[in-house]
Amino acid sequence: MSMKYALLPVFAMFAMYAQAQSFINIQYKNGTVTSINVDDVQEITFTKAEKGTADNPYTVAELLVACQGLETDALLKDGAEVYARGIITKVKEMSTQYGNATYYIADSQVGYEQFTVYRGSLVNRAPVTVGDELAVGDTVVVCGQVKNYRGTTLEFIQGNYLVSLKKYNSEETLRSVLKRLEFPMRQGGDNNLIVVHTAKLNDETGEEGVNYSVEWDTNKHAQRWSCYQMYESVMARLVSRYQGGYPNDVFLPLAYHLDPDPYVRSGYDHGHILPSADRMASAQSNEQTFYMTNMHPQVHAFNAGLWEKMEDQVRTWAERFDTLYVCKGGTIDKEENIIGYLGADANMIPVPKYFFMALLGKSSTGYTAVGLWVEHRDDYPSNASVSNYLVNIRDLEQKTGLDFFHNLPDTVEEQVETLPVSNLKNVWGM
């Protein structure tokens, strides 16, 4: 629709400006400039683009407003196709049998105002064929008919399709995240996925950002490491521990989910890599620590014994620094460093023989780093000291085959990674 406004003030401005210059330059947001001869201007019309079109898609919030008052089973805009842009917050089903996907979109990855996209196809109406085409965090523009299904669910109905798809964990998106100091050098190969978890990090302040990241090996059905940051606002204790079990990771494509859970009745605990106790500042960040991608099988005596003692020590250390950068995991790459396997076929996961922690502390005086390396056993005495398992980062890199803290300047990396253990015990108060 268009609206004509009173133009006398506009033409008066043009006329005054034209006394000195007969052209008006208009600069657009993209930087291009258009020159208009004032003498050629007869009328100015302001046009407001209609929402929900290909050129001006709805946001999810705008689409929800547009649906207010929609009768039960009625179609929005009398059944005309509408467009909406959103970020996928949950993938419910990727059906290779029927070639479609059901998922939810919101205006942000931590958005709570969601809209259902029911049995839609991909870009150019392509069918779902693999099952990993969509994932949480992907930004999409959806086109289709919108219905108030049974008066209970607002949804894009079956037959909708994607106009565009921007992958959240694409190389372009990951480029900046991989520069964070907690990230080790990633492994090569198509079977290794970097999965970045974003969340509300503090329920009081509303802080949002990267909660933690993992490298997931799709062949081994296991994570290689979890990495994350610890600092004052994310270490606040504001919420209770999540009680919903151990869900599959919503950020991991459905094709790689573990179902059924191979830990059940295996004799092993779901061993957190990023501990729940490190993320008590928000309900969402705490829930994400229970994702299956953040687990390794651990015997209970180890999980509730020496490993837990190490986790407590890391939280104590974190209080000494402005930021503590953490990378932790278990050994999955060499058979001699694997105790055995749980589950079978697509659900078969390795049981690491060793676990490790790589820690980098940042303070006003600079950086310092330390490693922990421990065998996965159930016979450690209750008085076992964490200091017995300290190693420097260079030694830890040789044991794990990983390159930690490679985003530091080379001179700083060399300095913090090669301190003798005797020096490390003093620096880290052990």
Asked which of 146, 166, 186 is the last residue of a domain, the reply is: 166
The verdict on 255 and 392 lying in the same domain is yes
Joined together, the tokens standing for residue 316 give: 């104590």
Q: Do strands 295-298 and 269-272 pair parallel, antiparallel, or not at all (unpaired)?
A: antiparallel
The verdict on 113 and 197 lying in the same domain is no
Among the residue ranges 94-108, 154-168, 170-184, 382-396, the one predicted with the least confidence is: 170-184
Check which CATH number belongs to the domain holding 109 and give it: 2.40.50.140
Structural domain span for residue 36: 2-47
**What's the distance, CA 160 to chain centroid?**
26
Question: Hey, is 89 helix, strand or coil?
Answer: strand
- Number of domains composing the chain: 3
| Of 234, 227, 225, 224, the residue nearest 183 (C-alpha) | 227
The verdict on 235 and 315 lying in the same domain is yes
The verdict on 258 and 323 lying in the same domain is yes
Contact 165, 140 (CB under 8 A): yes
Q: How far apart are CA 276 and CA 212, in angstroms?
A: 12
The verdict on 233 and 148 lying in the same domain is no
The verdict on 199 and 146 lying in the same domain is no
What's the pLDDT score for residue 34?
A: 78
Among the residue ranges 31-45, 136-150, 294-308, the one predicted with the least confidence is: 31-45
**Residue 217 in domain:** yes
Reply yes or no on whether the pLDDT at 251 is more than 80. yes
The verdict on 277 and 329 lying in the same domain is yes
**Residue 34 in domain:** yes
Q: How far apart are CA 257 and CA 250, in angstroms?
A: 9
Phi, psi of 136 (to 5 degrees): -60, 140
What's the pLDDT score for residue 30?
A: 61
**Residue 179 in domain:** yes
Reply yes or no on whether the pLDDT at 375 is more than 90. yes
The verdict on 252 and 342 lying in the same domain is yes
Q: Tokens 């490693």 belong to which residue?
A: 371
Q: Do strands 269-272 and 146-149 pair parallel, antiparallel, or not at all (unpaired)?
A: unpaired
**Residue 375 in domain:** yes
Q: What percent of the chain has pLDDT over 90?
A: 81
The verdict on 369 and 410 lying in the same domain is yes
The verdict on 161 and 256 lying in the same domain is no
Average pLDDT over residues 86-110: 93
**Residue 350 in domain:** yes
Q: How far apart are CA 369 and CA 327, in angstroms?
A: 11
The verdict on 155 and 213 lying in the same domain is no
**Cβ atoms within 10 Å, residue 33:** 8
CA dihedral 389, 381, 377, 371 (to 10 degrees): -10
**Residue 52 in domain:** no
Reply yes or no on whether the pLDDT at 74 is more than 70. yes
